[in-house]
With several copies, the nearest count.
Chain A
Amino acid sequence: GCAGPAGGQPTAAVAASELHLGYFANVTHAPALVGLDKGLFAKELGRTKISTQVFNAGPATIEALSAGAIDAAFIGPSPAINSYIKSKGASVVVVAGAATGGAALVVRSGITSAAELKGTTLATPQLGNTQDVALRSWLATQGYKTSITGGGDVTISPSENADTLKLFEAGTIDGAWLPEPWVSRLVLEAHAHVLVDEASLWPNGAFPTTVLVVNKSFLYAHPQTVKALVAGEVDSVNWLNAHPTEAAAAINEQLVAVAGKGLSAPVIERALANVKFSVDPQAQAFPTLITHAVSAGTGTQGSITGLFDLSLLNSILTASGGTAVSAHGLGKE
């Protein structure tokens, strides 16, 4: 029972009694981890209860959003784009950014240049996820043919990150394009080395790694709740950028609480050095992501105009004296 935003002012809309938030137990989702750890979301949400669900892959998160099991989620940009295009704009809206950077191609010793990748097997976290698309499109620029059915000059084998570590240690695969902290784990625990840092492929080194999305219908029904969520995230990102030394401990605390196991100090330090936290979703990068996904065969061409609704974020940012972020013509600002 919620009225639409017909009157311009969504006065009829009420705050949701509960907000279901999904995220990964992962360094690139630190704004979620810290926000929960420090109670920043709860503080902003007030009477609205927050309940969380931990995922380990983007597709499952999107499925939960589609099925209405969660209302908002921290997620990589590729699944968000994919869902938006497949649903013809009906599924999700990006309301803020969360993290940028922190992905790289790591390979075994003995491979020092792109030319030596021919005939190798490389892993990615999941078919069609942000890193998978990145690897495929980068390989294409290097002149390699790949296929999502597994053939080609370089075999890409989407595997779970934990499996990837094992497969790499066993010598079954020659490298992987991974997000943090797996890049750091492979480097520090399995003696891999970074061949390509994804940051080097983007202008200014800025590319989106994690964004905050909400169900479109939820946004229409409960804009205040979403605004509170975004406000909590802004606080969280600000805290992370203000306390770089305490961040590792706070993140690890949540990891232990959620996944039962934390990360070693060197891994988390190396990981945090590569990930930047920012509420700017880097909208300008999204069209490039689509082009990459389409050429890699994991995505379909489609319009993402309307994917962004940064109006809530910008009102918060400007109210606190910050600068607004741009949707680059892909939605409300």
Chain B
Amino acid sequence: MPPEVIAQRDPELDARGRTDLRTLEAGLDALQTGDVSSRSGVRRILGGVVPPVILVIVLLLAWQLYTVVAHPRPDLAPGPLDVLGSFGSAWTSGRLPVAVLTSLQRGVLGFLIAVAIGTPLGLLLAEVRWLRRALGPLISGLQVLPSVAWVPAAILWFGLTDATVYFVVLMGAVPSITNGLVSGVEQVPPQLRRVGTVLGASRLQLATRVILPAALPGYLAGLKQGWAFSWRSLMAAEIITVGGTIGFGLGSMLQQSRELADLAAVLTTIITILAIGIIVELLAFAPVERRLLRRRGLLVATAVGR
């Protein structure tokens, strides 16, 4: 019996059935996709930001009170105001901006080079099975090695130059990025691959339309960790490799402040390093990640401050 015959058998009953079904489904859909009333974004962020800010202020006040009341040795326990003054003078003298710019530039450049190396390597590992089985454990092993351990070797190879710094940054970041991509591809649900195949995708289409987009969250996590490792390794390298033709970064400033026995400047630099870490996380990675996860419904609408 050809399909047309079936379809036309009782057009009137059919039409009635359709309208009825349409109403029923609309009713059910309305019930099941109800308004998920969430707290407003601003209030949520405020709720997350206010308590730690208050805590920080309280801690600062307690610290200042301690320095005023207990009169500790100012070179061993400077007060918050001393640190603020040190920050001001480091900023106006131009030392701090130079250090921030140098370090940021190195960190970003090193990270980009690491991405440029780690991404194709990750793709290669994800695609070529025997390579992954052989090289994968080595790369995971490299992640265990503190990248600071490369500093002495790098100094011997490249001398006290920027190449040393970049080498150390790469040894820290590349394994993370590569591993992130590989595990991202590995975690693509096999179901999605099957769907692609069933829909008739070619090998290339499967890779570009299905696997890579699906592996994106894992890749992003790898990038984030890669940045964290870049920044850590950079600071370590800058602190250790002073002298030679190495430019003046935050690590150098830290080391310099130590040599001048200037604890206020050391704390200023530590706070700057922390601030940059948090700002990069908030400005560069968090929005991309949030957007990506939200589009996939992976972001549960929880309070920020949980």
Contacts and interface: CB of A to CB of B under 8 A. Distances in A.
Contacts of A154: none
Contacts of B73: 66, 87-88, 90-91
Residue with the greatest number of chain A CB neighbours at <10 A, chosen from B75, B159, B245, B248: B159
A159 B259 CA distance: 12
A86 B177 CA distance: 36
Contacts of A151: 98
A165 B231 CA distance: 31
Contact of A91 (B75, B161, B258, B260): B75
Contacts of B259: 57, 59, 126-129, 158, 160, 162
B244 A64 contact: yes
Contacts of A121: 245
Contact of A167 (B244, B247, B262): B244
B245 A159 contact: no
A56 B255 CA distance: 14
A68 interface: yes
A194 B95 CA distance: 32
Interface residues of B toward A: which range?
Answer: 20 to 34
Contacts, number: 120
> How large, as a class, is the contact surface on chain A?
35 or more
B258 A59 contact: yes
Given A66-B76, A66-B159, A148 B256 contact: yes
Interface in A161-192: 162-164, 166-167, 170, 172
A320 B154 CA distance: 44
Interface in B229-267: 242-245, 247-248, 256, 258-263
Contact of A159 (B163, B244, B256): B244
Contacts of B155: 60, 63
A149 B94 contact: yes
Contacts of B243: 53-56, 60, 123, 157-160, 163-164, 167
A69 B260 contact: no
A87 B160 contact: no
A224 B263 CA distance: 32
Contact of A82 (B156, B256, B261): B261
Given A67-B159, A86-B262, A159-B160, A60 B95 contact: no
A302 B161 CA distance: 29
Interface in A34-90: 53-57, 59-60, 62-69, 79, 82-83, 86-88, 90
Contacts of B74: 86-88, 90
A93 to B, nearest CB: 14
Contacts of B161: 64, 67, 69
A163 B160 contact: yes
A65 to B, nearest CB: 8
B75 A86 contact: yes
B91 interface: no
Residue in A54, A63, A121, A148 whose Cβ sees the most chain B Cβ within 10 Å: A63
B251 to A, nearest CB: 13
B211 to A, nearest CB: 42
Contact of A66 (B94, B156, B245): B156
B157 interface: yes
Contact of A86 (B93, B248, B261): B261
A307 B161 CA distance: 26
A163 B76 contact: no
A59 B244 contact: no
A123 B244 CA distance: 8
Interface string B59-78: 00000000000000111100
B92 to A, nearest CB: 12
B260 A150 contact: no
- In this complex, the member of B98, B245, B259 whose beta carbon has the largest number of chain A beta carbons within 10 angstroms is B259
A53 B93 contact: no
Nearest to A297: B93
A120 interface: no
Contacts of A66: 73, 75-76, 156, 159, 261
11 contacts: A55-B243, A59-B258, A60-B243, A60-B244, A67-B157, A67-B163, A90-B74, A158-B259, A162-B259, A163-B160, A170-B159
Can you list the 8 inter-chain pairs with the closest CB atoms, starting with the nearest? A67-B159, A159-B243, A86-B75, A149-B248, A87-B75, A59-B259, A64-B159, A69-B159
Given A149-B99, A157-B244, 15 more contacts: A57-B259, A59-B259, A59-B261, A60-B160, A64-B160, A66-B159, A66-B261, A67-B158, A69-B244, A86-B263, A88-B73, A121-B245, A149-B95, A150-B247, A167-B243
Interface of A: 53-57, 59-60, 62-69, 79, 82-83, 86-88, 90-91, 121, 123, 126-129, 148-151, 155, 157-160, 162-164, 166-167, 170, 172, 297-299
Interface of B: 73-76, 93-95, 98-99, 155-161, 163, 242-245, 247-248, 256, 258-263
